[in-house]
Amino acid sequence: MSSKGSAPAKAGLRVGVIGAGVMGSNHARVLSGLPGVSLVGVVDPSHAHRARATELANCPSFETLDQLIAAGVDAVTIAAPTHLHHEVALACIARNIHVLVEKPIASTVAEGREIVAAAHKAGVTLMVGHVERFNPAVAAVKQAIAGEDILSIAITRVGPFPPRMSNVGVVIDLAVHDIDLIRWFTESDIVEVQPQLSSAVAEREDIALLQFRTANGVLAHINTNWLTPFKARSVTVATRGKYVMGDLLTRQVTECFGFKPDGSYSMRHLPVGHDEPLRAELIAFLKAVRNGETPAVTGDEGVASLEIATQCLETPSRPAAKSPALKGPRRVVG
């Protein structure tokens, strides 16, 4: 088996996909079409999942991880359920296989740190699949605020209850994307967390209003839920010099600038690329593997976002200070 990306150039990198659910099947589909990549196959214990992935990607499938490893892989993408990330990632890293693991990196911060430490010790590339960073609209927002004095960020990520949901709520499933984006936009750590959570329909939290302050003083807010009948994904960033609005679904990014004392300002639409985010992410991972570069989203970054998400779930809500009780209705004066 070749390892550490040492396959002959003409054969390309030998890559496998672990997990053939919706996300894993998409990984296989994209990888099967990338130049310089040989898709060795997908792994999933479910026959139905394997059948779907092989139809999408026209590649072999395996029932167990050992079978895939025996076939010989240089790198893998892990799109298995989150509770399996730790075990699967460590098994691959132990065999000097480069790893892209879907977000969140693991079920717990401790498990995430173990994965990072193992990859560092083995000298293999470890990247975390925070795919939203590769959304062309997000990239356009990031470019627009480069060098700006950021004041606040507001992100909305809402939609209907997902049929595939497992054992996590909206904070781990959805908000972890935006926690990563806040850290990436501000290039700063989150130092204060003020969460408000509610379980309206689901067993776990299905509404989350999360407020943050970063080390460099930016205020940020995430509104996320599974109670909205349609999907909405938006980002707004206020800086001292401009106001940037991005719709991550329609991929429209608008910038307001040139504020005048009379309240007038200029507005323009920014150019946004057309790349498929997952394709851009996988290309970035394979480039890091080939060149031995630091990946676009490091294991440490993945752990940091998971740590903030975990804090949101563990921080108790503080009751508001009670004002003196008012007996009877308030009297309207005048």
Q: What is the CA radius of gyration of the chain?
A: 22
- Residues 243, 150 contacting (CB under 8 angstroms): no
Measured CA to CA, the distance from residue 278 to residue 228 in angstroms comes to 25
The pLDDT score that the predictor gives to residue 85 is 97
Three-class SS state of 121 = helix
Written as six digits, the tokens of 260 are: 């005048």
Three-class SS state of 78 = strand
Instruction: Give percent of the chain with pLDDT exceeding 90.
Output: 85
Class of domain 130-274+295-312: alpha beta
Closest residue by Cα to residue 99 from 120, 121, 79, 125: 125
pLDDT for 314 beyond 60: yes
- Residues 90, 97 contacting (CB under 8 angstroms): no
Three-class SS state of 271 = coil
Query: How does residue 1 score in pLDDT terms, banded at 50, 70 and 90?
Result: very low
**pLDDT (mean) for 185-202:** 95
Q: What is the pLDDT of residues 232-258, one digit of tens each?
A: 999 999 999 999 999 999 999 999 999
When mean pLDDT is compared across 118-132, 150-164, 273-287, the lowest value belongs to 150-164
Q: Which residues neighbour 81 within 8 Å (Cβ) at sequence distance 6 or greater?
A: 19, 21, 166
Q: What is the pLDDT of residues 273-307, one digit of tens each?
A: 999 999 999 999 999 999 999 999 999 999 999 99
- Residues 173, 165 contacting (CB under 8 angstroms): yes
Domain ranges across the chain: 12-129, 130-274+295-312
**Terminus-to-terminus CA distance in the chain, angstroms?**
86
DSSP structure class, residue 61:
E
Instruction: Give percent of the chain with pLDDT exceeding 70.
Output: 90
Measured CA to CA, the distance from residue 227 to residue 208 in angstroms comes to 11
Written as six digits, the tokens of 281 are: 């992410």
Written as six digits, the tokens of 305 are: 């976002």
Measured CA to CA, the distance from residue 157 to residue 174 in angstroms comes to 7
Higher pLDDT, 8 or 313: 313
| Strands lying side by side in the sheet with 219-225 | 190-198, 207-214, 219-225, 150-158, 232-239, 242-247, 252-257, 266-269
Look over the chain and give the mean of its residue pLDDT values, rounded to a whole number.
Answer: 92
Q: How many helices (H) and strands (E) does the chain have?
A: 10, 14
DSSP structure class, residue 298:
B
The pLDDT score that the predictor gives to residue 162 is 84
DSSP structure class, residue 328:
S
Measured CA to CA, the distance from residue 111 to residue 128 in angstroms comes to 14
DSSP per residue, 190-252? EEEEEEEEE-SSSSS--EEEEEEEETT--EEEEEEES--SS-EEEEEEEESSEEEEEETTTTE
Residue 242, beta-bridge partner list: 257
When mean pLDDT is compared across 96-110, 225-239, 320-334, the lowest value belongs to 320-334
Residue 268, beta-bridge partner list: 255
pLDDT for 329 beyond 90: no
- Residues 145, 119 contacting (CB under 8 angstroms): no
Biggest alpha carbon distance in the chain? 87
Higher pLDDT, 284 or 319: 284
**pLDDT (mean) for 115-143:** 98
Q: Which CATH architecture has domain 12-129?
A: 3-Layer(aba) Sandwich (3.40)
- Residues 222, 180 contacting (CB under 8 angstroms): no
DSSP structure class, residue 132:
G
